[in-house]
Amino acid sequence: MFVKTSAISNITLEAWLPTNWTGRFLSTGNGGLSGCIQYEDVAYGADFGFATVGANSGHNGTRGTAFYENGEVVADFSYRSVHTGVLVGKALTKAYYEKDFKKSYYLGCSTGGRQGFKEVQDFPEDFDGVVLGAPALAFNNLSSWSGSFLLKTGPTNSSTWLNPAEWALVHADILTQCDGIDGVKDGIIEDPQLCAYTPANLLCSPSNTTSPACLTSAQVSTVRQVFEPYYGENGSLIFPRMQPGSELSDAFIYYTGQPFPYTTDWMRYAILNDTTWNASELNSYYAALASERNPADISTWKGDLSAFQKKGGKILHYHGQADSIITSANSPRYYEHVAETMGLPPRDLDEFYRFFRISGMDHCAGGGGSVADWADVGEYGGGDVGCAA
């Protein structure tokens, strides 16, 4: 279905209406900068008897070129695609089944997780319960952080760059230092926030600088920088550090010696409207500019969720502790922001908002949840929000 959202923008959506309908409605989100319906999520919801809707976030394809000089498309990507899809999807559901739904839910991860929090913050009446994984919160800062790794590793011909085999050495050293913190050596870092990793042990000796089992001083410096928080002008925090434990995946994502395409697209087409901007130009000035401009309030960092709380809404928020795309350190930062803004200790916040760290889980891999039971009958069983992939 084609739905216009402004004079110069539109969304495409699909509603899957199963014959075994349970009387419940589900909306799904998107991923990355993608303008793609998440068909696997739509199918998942329909298989469980939910009337399920998915939309394309206002553009087609996996890149951000559609944002260029079109703030309406950015608005669709930020919030309007999901919200419009909910309004249209609910109307279709009611018309098709000739009766109203009982409860409405949302399921999304990464960009989809951010979209879900945007709904909770700005459109609290849309859902009774949401399952939000690895949300791309503080979106502009996340984009700048994602692009910063090229500046830290350098290109592939640089003395500072590490190849995947060398990152495997780092990973093994991280496990040696941090795997046993939880008392069990199982190849999984239970809580990477407790891992104060130092790569000094991997430094080659002066007489053995070419060994494949050690790193040069330039490479050791790179590793240190990779696991440091990203700071901007005046020492202000842009984004928390990448957690130790995801480096085997990140060797093929952030540490490739190539520009991260989402960062390039976001800066070129949404922030600057300058197609010539180069990823090597990224610095604290551009990071601050992106945060300041914050098109369509895509940052999604509001801490007051009281409207959603008062209507009886429920949030299940999870984040894999080996996430290779969005550091797992960002989610507890937002949870604490909500707690401080609303003046609620964890015990009270847990009445409607629960946050789970999923050990060993990468970006959006694994998953699941009990939000339907919690929102329907007020009972949360626990223990099944997600699992290691």
pLDDT score for 207: 82
Q: What is the reported pLDDT for 370?
A: 44
- Across the range 338-347, mean pLDDT stands at 97
255-311 residue pLDDT tens: 999 999 999 999 999 999 999 999 999 999 999 999 999 999 999 999 999 999 999
- Which member of 57, 110, 249, 324 is catalytic? 110
Tell me the helix, strand and coil percentages in the chain, rounded to 5. 45, 15, 40
Instruction: Grade residue 150 by pLDDT with cuts at 50, 70 and 90.
Output: very high
Determine if residue 343 is left, alpha or beta; phi over 0 gives left, psi from -120 to 50 gives alpha, anything else beta.
Answer: left
The pLDDT assigned to 365 comes to 77
Percent of the chain with pLDDT over 70: 94
Residue that is written with structure tokens 């279709």 in the block: 92
Q: What is the pLDDT of residue 383?
A: 46
The yes-or-no answer on residue 217 being catalytic is: no
Q: Which of 59, 171, 317, 363 is catalytic?
A: 363
* H/E stretch holding 41: helix 39-47
- The burial of 275, by beta-carbon neighbours within 10 Å (0-12 exposed, 13-18 middle, 19 or more buried), is given as exposed
Least trusted range by pLDDT, from 11-20, 330-339, 367-376:
367-376
* Whole-number Cα distances in Å, 102 to 22, 24, 112, 124, 215: 9, 6, 23, 16, 59
In the predicted structure, residue 253 carries a pLDDT above the cut 60: yes
Q: What is the pLDDT of residue 373?
A: 53
- pLDDT at position 384: 41
Catalytic residue among 179, 250, 265, 323: 323
Is 323 one of the annotated active-site residues of the chain?
A: yes
209-248 pLDDT tens trace = 678 899 999 999 999 999 999 999 889 999 999 999 999 9
Q: What is the mean pLDDT of residues 324-335?
A: 98
Assess whether 59 carries a catalytic annotation.
no
- Give the chain's end-to-end CA distance (angstroms, integer): 34
Domains and CATH numbers, the chain: 2-139+297-377 (3.40.50.1820), 141-295 (no CATH)
Distance CA 37, CA 27 (A): 11
For the stretch 99-122, pLDDT in tens is 999 999 999 999 999 999 999 999
Structure tokens at 260: 């991260």
The 10s digit of each residue's pLDDT in 49-98 is 999 999 999 999 999 999 999 999 999 999 999 999 999 999 999 999 99
pLDDT digits (tens, 9 = 90+) for 184-197: 999 999 999 999 99
